[in-house]
Structure 1
Amino acid sequence: MPQWIIDQPGTLTFEPVTALDVRIVAGRLAVLASDGPPSLEVTEIDSPPLLVEQDDEGRLTVAYKDLTWDGVLGWLRHGRRSTTLTLTVPKECPVRAGVISASAVVAGFEKRTNVKSVSGEIVLDGLSGDTEAETVSGPVESRGLTGDFRFTSVAGELTVAGGTPRRLRANTMSGRITADLELPPTGHVTLHSVSGHIMVRLPKDADTDVALRSTSGHLNTAFSGLNGTSRPGTRSLSGRLGGGMASLSATTITADVTLLRRDQ
């Protein structure tokens, strides 16, 4: 099994890659889908070195030896460990990317993508496969989402721009959720936050069943035809927009929920 120890800037190319697992602490990470040869470019690195391995089945791992996938969200070690690297692998390659405080961009993949972050900012661009993002306080931005997406965070914010998800599920404690969506006929969106505000924007001609609920937060909508109820312990706005082919559910405990209309 080929192995490399990376302790200085440089570039590596690999045999065909069937899956990627990358884990870093601080710095910047880019994981990009490409039709060219799989490669790793390191432009900055502090000690300790990164360990790179590719097994006989083509699975590529780029990580610190003591930073496991399961240990990303519980990382407590001190030290800078800053590195800047770019990885290019095929678009059909499953990807796992874990960071502590580093920023990361993952773009163009069609299969399963998993990302974890403690406080680093994550950008997911043009992903069409199943995607899962888990953070402690790190924000996640998704652009051009067309697959299934699951987001879980304690205090991290989620922003979905230009999304057409089949399924979108987001759950936060205090993080804000902002989503600009155009739902396909079978699209299903479920958003939940304890104290973080939720704001969703849909096209004016959306065909969606809507259910907005909050224990004590305010509910606001730019769409007519939704029915509001209020009783001790719960407030709700619900109804059908257009033909009601898709579904949208947004629930908070103390935060507001706002449904906006996109007229163009």
Structure 2
Amino acid sequence: MRKVGTLTSALTLLVLGGLLLFDQLSDKQIIFKVLSYWPVIVFALGAELLWSLYAVKKLKINEEIRVDARSIALLCLVGVFSLVVYSQQSIQGLVQSSIVNLRDALSEKRISLPDMKFDAKSVKRMEIFNRVGTIDLRPSDSQTIQLKTKVRVQNLQSDQANQEAQSLTPLISQGETLRVEIDPAWSASSKITGVDLELLVPDNIDVQLLTDTGNVTVLNHVGNVVVSSQSGKVDLQDIKGTATVDDGNGQIKAASILGDVEIKTKAGSLDVHDIKGNVQLDNAFGQIKAGKIDGDLNITSRNGIIDLDTVAGNVEAQIENGPIHAANLQKAVTLNSSSGGITLESIVGGTWVLNSQRGNVMVRIPKDSDVEFIGESSSGTIKGPMQSNKPNESKVSEKLGRGTYQLLIRTETGSITVNPNL
């Protein structure tokens, strides 16, 4: 009896065993690629059967030809195994494709719109309005104004995101005033989350930047700057001109500005330094830091901390709830705190008026100062520059040096201390 399939079975087992061993040694998973050619086994079985028929007929051998059961079992095993592998790979590919599509749809994309350029020779002023998104203004190295726009899109696939972004191409009106406006009818949605504007602007152009929500940055600009924002950080640096900021909520930094500075915010910290002009700050809630001011400084705050250092002009600061810390104030000083102490260390170059309703007042001045000290406290000790101890008196007057400048300090509840040891 001649069996068909024995040779094919043996060769198949040798090949599978060799591939499995190779995969274990090399970790390349070649067997999964080879399994896709499993129909070769059927072809081999057919070839072996034809050869057996040919051999029996040609040699005229009276033998019965039967198919080897092991070969059939092997064929079935390999076939089932291949189907399982195909199914797993197909499902895995489908899952990976779905994950990629989902990730592509959910991830935020920044779609760049075509850049815009404008001749700046006739432009004296710019107005930029962006409802939701950042505004970044930097100097241009030519007499051309450049506008770069990036739209932030999410919950859309890439091709849909590109189409959606085109709807927010900036609206332009040009004359002596160049106005750039993102469609005012648009508001942030689940698809478009914001529009970021980057501008390159030549010198000697005044700019007004308006945004409801978004950070504003202006660096190295020659011209006056006005910023209005409901919520967002504002960063102004190296401005050769005046700076005016009206911000509802956000951190504000202003540094190296040649002109006057006026900042008003409802909540957020203020950091202002290296200002050549006068400074006026109004903050409802948050810390205020101001230093290296060449002009006068005026501060109004309701809640927070005021920290001052090195002011060449007159200083006036008042806060309802919070302390005032000051140093190196060269001219007249008026500090008022309804609830919070006052600390001042400086030479005396003008009249000082310090008033704290609830809090201690501590002052350090040089021993060679020329001041006339008057201290009043409804409830607290008073120690003047002559260091006399008069714990039971509510008013103390002393003179140090020639008494050129008045030093008037008053507290309702709190002690007063003046140390001439700076």
TM-score (norm 1): 0.70
Aligned partner of 2:402: which letter? Answer: G
1:179-228, Cα deviation, whole Å (9 max, x unpaired) = 001013xx11001111121111111221111111111122124634x695
- Percent identical: 20
The CA deviation at 1:259 is: 1.1
Match of 1:124 among 284, 287, 290: 290
Aligned residue in 2 for 1:210: 373
Aligned residue in 1 for 2:268: 102
1:1-40, Cα deviation, whole Å (9 max, x unpaired) = 411135444531479xxxxxxxxxxxxxxxxxxxx99999
Aligned partner of 1:245: which letter? Answer: T
Aligned residue in 1 for 2:354: 191
Match of 1:177 among 323, 327, 342: 342
Q: How many Å separate the matches in 2 of 1:84 and 1:229?
A: 49
Match of 1:11 among 122, 133, 136: 136
Q: How many Å separate the matches in 2 of 1:242 and 1:180?
A: 18
Aligned residue in 2 for 1:239: 398
The CA deviation at 1:151 is: 0.7
Q: Give the alignment's Cα RMSD to 1 decimal.
A: 3.1
Moved more, 89-98 or 111-120: 89-98
1:92-147, Cα deviation, whole Å (9 max, x unpaired) = 41111122332121112232210011221111111121110000012111111221
Aligned partner of 1:210: which letter? Answer: F
Task: Structure 1: give runs of 5+ residues left out of the alignment.
Answer: 16-35, 53-57, 68-80
Q: How many Å separate the matches in 2 of 1:93 and 1:115?
A: 14
Match of 2:408 among 217, 230, 249: 249
Aligned residue in 2 for 1:78: none
Q: How many Å separate the matches in 1 of 2:206 and 2:407?
A: 40
Change (3 A) 1:229 1:199: closer
Aligned residue in 2 for 1:261: 420
Change (3 A) 1:38 1:227: farther
Aligned residue in 2 for 1:88: 238
1:167 aligns to 2:291 (yes or no): no
Aligned partner of 1:106: which letter? Answer: V
Whether the aligned pair in 1 keeps the contact of 2:378 and 2:413 (CA below 8 Å) is: yes
Whether the aligned pair in 1 keeps the contact of 2:318 and 2:335 (CA below 8 Å) is: yes
**Count of residue correspondences:** 212
Whether the aligned pair in 2 keeps the contact of 1:37 and 1:89 (CA below 8 Å) is: no
Task: Structure 2: give runs of 5+ residues left out of the alignment.
Answer: 1-124, 141-202, 218-222, 241-256
Q: Secondary structure at the match of 2:413?
A: coil
Change (3 A) 1:159 1:37: farther
Structure with the bigger RCO (C-alpha within 8 Å, sep 6+) is: 1
Aligned residue in 2 for 1:77: none
Change (3 A) 1:125 1:257: same
Change (3 A) 1:60 1:86: closer
Pick the structure with more helix per residue.
2
Q: Secondary structure at the match of 1:182?
A: coil
Pick the structure with more strand per residue.
1
Q: How many Å separate the matches in 1 of 2:297 and 2:234?
A: 23
Aligned partner of 1:261: which letter? Answer: P
Q: How many Å separate the matches in 1 of 2:411 and 2:361?
A: 8
Whether the aligned pair in 1 keeps the contact of 2:382 and 2:389 (CA below 8 Å) is: no
